[in-house]
Amino acid sequence: MTTLINQNPIIYEASANNSTREWREDEDLEDSVDLIDAQEIFDLIRSISDPEHPLSLEQLNVTQRDHIQVSDENNSVLVEFTPTIPHCSMATLIGLCIRVRLLRCLPARFKVDISVRKGTHQSEHAVNKQLNDKERVAAALENSHLLEVVNQCLATAT
C-alpha cells in the first residue's frame, strides 16, 4: 500500500446525519424561490469522503459551516476548506470534489468560489487559482480517471 500523506489525522465528531433543517418537500419548491443558506451548502458537502481516509470531510474538520458564506440574493457562494496538513497534496482534489458536488446540486444561478482557508496550505495561492479556473475544471472533468476518483469521493455524499 502506498504511504498516506497524512498518516494519522485528527477525527472530529460529525453531527447527526440528517440535516438540522426541516426537510422541505420538493413540491413546495416548484413555485417558490428555493432559498439557499450556509447550512444547506454544508449539508451538501459534509459527507463527501476524504480521498485518503474512509472518513468524511466533516469528520476531518476539512469543512465547517462557519467557513461557508452564502448570499442567496447575489447568487454567490464561498466555501473555504481546511486541508488536514499544510502540505496536503490532495487539497486540489478535495476542492474539486466540493466544486463538483455543488455544480451538480445547486441551481445554476449560483457562482461558487472555493478556496483553501487562509494560512492552512503552503501552496494556497496555486490551489485556489486552479480550483477557480473554470477552463481547468471543465478539462479535469473530461478526464475519465479523475472523474472516477471524484465520483468515488462523492458516492458517500447524501
Partner 1 sequence: MPRLEQLAELTGHEDRVWCAQWHPTKPILATCSGDKTVRIWQSTNPQDPTKWQCTNVLEGGHKRTIRSVAWSPDGRQLATGSFDATTGIWERDEDENGDFECVATLEGHENETKSIAWSKSGALLATCSRDKSVWIWEVEEDNDFECLSVLQEHTQDVKMVAWHPNEELLASASYDDTIKIWRDDDDDWYCADTLHGHDSTVWAIDFDPSGERLVSASADQTLKIWRRYHPGNPEGIITPRRGEPVWKCVATVAGQHDRCIYSVSWSKVHGVVASAGADNTIRLFEATPSTAGAASSDVIASTNEPGTLFDVHLLISVQSAHGTNDINSVAWYPNEEHGDWLASGGDDGSVRIWRFLKD
Nearest approach in angstroms of CB 134 to partner 1 is 7
Residues in the chain: 158
Which one, of 93, 94, 134, lies nearest residue 113 by Cα?
134
Give the contacts of 35 (CB within 8 A, at least 6 positions apart): 72
Q: In what order do the strands lie in the sheet with 111-116?
A: 68-71, 76-81, 111-116
Please select the residue that binds partner 1; options are 108, 119, 145, 148, rule is CB under 8 A.
Answer: 108
Is residue 21 within the footprint of partner 1 (CB under 8 A)? no
CA 65, CA 147: separation in Å to the nearest integer?
Answer: 26
Site for partner 1 in 38-77 (CB under 8 A): 75
Q: Which is nearer to partner 1, 34 or 133 (CB)?
A: 133
Instruction: Cell 467557513: give the residue.
Output: 67
One of 24, 104, 111, 118 touching partner 1 (CB under 8 A): 111
Site for partner 1 in 118-147 (CB under 8 A): 129, 132-136, 138-139, 142
148 binds partner 1 (CB under 8 A): no
In the complex, the residues that contact partner 1 under the rule CB under 8 A are: 75, 108-109, 111, 129, 132-136, 138-139, 142
